[in-house]
Structure 1
Amino acid sequence: MKNGRSLVDLAQELERQLESKKDLIVPSSLVRHTTDEAGDTRLVVEETGGPVQYGVTPLARRQLADKLKIPYAYFERMREEQPALLDRNVNTWLQNEGDRRMLRTLDGNVRAVLSERYRRLDNFDLAKSVLPILQGLPGVRFQSAELTDTKMYLKCITSRLKYEMAPGDVVQAGIVITNSEVGQGTLSVQPLIYRLVCSNGLIAPERALRKTHVGRALGGEDDAVTIYQDDTLRADDEAFFLKVRDVVQAAVSEVTFVQIAQKMQKTLNIPLKGDPVKMVEVLAQRYTLNDTERSGVLRHLISGGQLSGYGLVNAVTHYSQEVEDYDRATEFEALGGRLIDLSAQEWKGLAEAA
């Protein structure tokens, strides 16, 4: 499993962000887009005290283009080659829209352009709610935690639940909690399998319990900008976060763990009869792996010396530890979980690739 930051570092960054972020519900007509000669974009919002300029992150640019139905490749070409044309396009559509948008800002930058119905489930409040629950699990240890530009991750293992895949090959139960404040995924609680012999983590996405970020429309019906303070946000979400506790308990139950472990164990009996190179090529095409990722999975499959479904699952999850991007590394852990859920026919297509 890929290492992240310590819980102390995570808590400190969440505290810092709490002081620096601001959410606005803004009528599109009160937003103006500007681009300088270097291609840096800004959104100017007509707030109560006057116009306020915000930088725009790449993710927010993509979301803005999507909201205005401007193809992103064209948006970026205008930004780089014809910034004045980009501003005319964006501002024309903004002024002709009757919609209200949620702009989520951090450190003076717009980090997300979302619907006014976006349900704010913030990382600080989630961590405050679930960390005491996780710390109360028997034999718990926090294996990895991270805060990326798009998501927060909490991954922990409990030594209370163990299962022997083969003699000397023991896995433990765990849990991964993820959340995105910027529209890049639901709040998700997923079971995790941790293999002691190689520190691989496998996420079982089919057993995920999720909460979507969709709620009631926020703000009034007037044409003013509404700014939500952090105490208002926390009060609005407190009742929901109380419900997360039951979800956490279910994710690390013995029944759930044993079912997933047994499903993983069955892959020991799936022989890989085809050409390993061709087989990993099929895997890469099916799950959109780039050349570097494909080569890394193949290397771990060969070095592991176990040409079985189990060997392929562990090659995928082991490679995740080498992936620099934490979000992408977690996707490889989830890919391992998707593989153990393959049907016999799907495994045959991989195992007999020639």
Structure 2
Amino acid sequence: MSGITSVRNANLQDMVTMLRDQQAAKLDVVAPATALRSRDGAIELSGVDPVFDENGVTVVNGLYTPTKDADATIAAKLGIGLKYLRRLRAERPDLYDANVNGLLHGKAKRTAAGETTVIHPADDRSFLLRLFRGQEGDHGVMRALLSDSYGIIDNLDVLTAVLDGIRQADAEVEIRSCDLTESSMHCKVYSPGVAALAPHFLGGYRNPFANPDLEAQRREVAAEIDGVRRLAASEGEGYEAGDEPVVFAGFRFSNSEIGDGAVTIKPELFVKICRNGLTLPLLGLRKMHQGVKMEHGSVTWSRDTQNKHLAVITAQTRDAVGEWLSPQFLTARIEEIEQQAGAPVSEADKTIKVVGKRLGFSETEREGVLSHFIAGGKLTAGGIANAITSYSQTVPDADRADALDDLALSAMALVK
């Protein structure tokens, strides 16, 4: 199942194909705690009616292997420490079963008189289980254990709604890359026709990814930045081809299908030459996955309900694109950033260590950012922001990479 749950830097068509494959494999079931049992580290469903849909009849009862993100939702719902639960999965699946089953079903004992005494009551809640069907007798995959009032908004629907909002805004954009993880989808969009100079932020910055492949990418974007180059020359500030401090207007959108967040749309400043993306999360939009309590059994949303959710996302995208992909918005954001970008960094190792600790970077992340900072050659606060957004491109976990890009501006602001 991992082949259709994760991908990094996919193009739009590949992403659509993967999401359609996922849609065909999905099962959404609301079941009481009494219908769930852990067996050898897998979650067993019983007493749930079969699902009838366009794929035919699917028997829901059976075993589902939780993903690492599903374990996180199990831990959260049952009040088990996540590190402890994951250690049990790896080392003591028998104790994993005992912990999960004990909290789901409680504990009772029979007295000498033959009566049953409840020591710990069973969990009386119902849950939404987001699943993938098993294939050819294999276990299915458990993606999440969620509240039975969780509002389902799927990745393919979000992608479709955002693209519709872009169409309604009549914006010239390119989808530059898409990422898919077990928990989230991330897509990055930019407008090749909306660009501006950022000399204090990018002037003197060297591309840390300099190599023949990236040189070919430079040649591909030459036509797009000709207009900005001419503007720079007219102002007496010429730049060598490939070294122009040019930033493009863009935005990102993301979604989680398993409770790790919301539908999020946020503006981004995109440096295409090195593919750095500086996000502006404080200006972004979020739509939480809020729904109503659902009945037991398989979940089938009405088209009317889905359309209402998606219409909001489409309208928000249309309005955001109209604002964020404008020369005025881009110029204003660059002016704000350049006020802080020039602060000098004299002790790179010490500064990045302090900044990294403040922002929760791991030791590996701090070392990676430092190496990109040195390679970039710009010893300023703006250089640290660029180092974070270039390092993030090397991080395999797309969710963490997106979080790092969100922290780049905060890191720049911490440099005094």
Coarse TM-score class (shorter-chain normalised):
0.7 to 0.9
Match of 1:182 among 222, 245, 258: 258
Give the equivalent residue in structure 1 for 2:220: none
- 1:265 paired with 2:338, answer yes
Q: Which runs of 5 or more structure 1 residues have no equivalent in the other structure?
A: 220-224, 349-354
Task: Return closer, same or farther for 1:197/1:57 CA change in 2, 3 Å cut-off.
Answer: closer
Matched ranges for 1:56-95 at <5 A: 56-95=66-105
Q: Which runs of 5+ in 2 are unaligned?
A: 1-6, 51-58, 106-121, 134-139, 200-236, 238-243
Query: Does the 8 Å CA contact 1:101/1:114 hold for their aligned counterparts?
Result: yes
Q: Which residue of 1 aligns with 2:297?
A: 226
2:402 alignment partner, SS class = helix
Deviates more, 1:88-97 or 1:112-121: 88-97
- Distance apart, 1:137 and its partner CA: 4.5
Q: Distance between the aligned counterparts of 1:3 and 1:139, measured in 2?
A: 24
For residue 126 of structure 1, the aligned residue among 158, 165, 174 is 158
Partner of 2:415: 347
Structure 1 residue 7 displacement after superposition:
1.1
**Alpha-carbon distance change, 264 to 297 in structure 1, aligned in 2, over 3 angstroms:** same
Structure 1 stretch 124-133 or stretch 209-218: which is displaced more? 124-133
Q: Does 2:13 correspond to 1:13?
A: no
- TM-score of the aligned structures, taking structure 2 as reference length: 0.74
Aligned with residue 290 of structure 2, among 191, 214, 228: 214
1:158 aligns with 2:159: no
176-185 vs 2-11, which moves further = 2-11
SS of the residue corresponding to residue 314 of structure 1 reads helix
SS class of match (1:310) = helix
Task: Please say if residues 57 and 110 of structure 1, whose CA atoms lie closer than 8 Å, have aligned partners that are also in contact.
Answer: yes
Other-structure match for 1:312: 384
Question: What CA distance in whole angstroms lies between the structure 1 residues aligned with 2:86 and 2:268?
Answer: 39
1:51-84 Cα offsets, whole Å, 9 max, x none, are 4322221211221122111222332344344433
Does the CA-based 8 Å contact 1:125-1:238 persist in structure 2? no
Match of residue 237, structure 1, among 303, 306, 309: 306
Count residues with an aligned counterpart.
331
Is the alpha carbon distance of 1:277 and 1:85 closer, same or farther for their aligned partners in structure 2, counting shifts above 3 Å?
closer
Distance 1:101 1:91 in 2: 15
Shift of 1:233: 5.5
Does the Cα contact within 8 Å between 2:351 and 2:415 map onto a contact in 1? no
Q: Determine the C-alpha separation between the residues in 2 that align with 1:286 and 1:278.
A: 12
Contact 1:250–1:256 under 8 Å retained in 2 = no
Q: Partner residue of 2:275?
A: 199
Q: 1:43: Cα distance to partner?
A: 2.6
The answer (yes or no) to whether the contact 1:65–1:75 under 8 Å persists in 2 is yes
Q: 1:317 to 1:116 in 2, by over 3 A?
A: same
* Equivalent in the alignment of 1:24: 29
What letter corresponds to residue 261 of structure 1 in structure 2?
I
Q: 1:328 to 1:233 in 2, by over 3 A?
A: farther
Q: Distance in 2 between matches of 1:142 and 1:74?
A: 40
Structure 1 SS opposite 2:98: helix
Q: Which has the larger radius of gyration?
A: 2
Q: Provide the residue aligned with 2:110 in structure 1.
A: none
CA-atom RMSD in angstroms:
2.2
Percent identical residues: 29
TM-score by length of 1: 0.86
Q: Distance in 2 between matches of 1:78 and 1:327?
A: 25
- Is residue 106 of structure 1 aligned with residue 138 of structure 2? no
User: Which of 379, 399, 410 is 1:327 aligned to?
Assistant: 399
CA contact (8 A) 2:355 2:411 kept: no
Q: Distance in 1 between matches of 2:194 and 2:318?
A: 13
What amino acid is aligned across from residue 25 of structure 1 in structure 2?
A: V
For residues 52 and 198 of structure 1, what CA distance do their matches in structure 2 show?
48
More displaced stretch, 102-111 vs 285-294: 285-294
Distance 2:145 2:261 in 1: 14
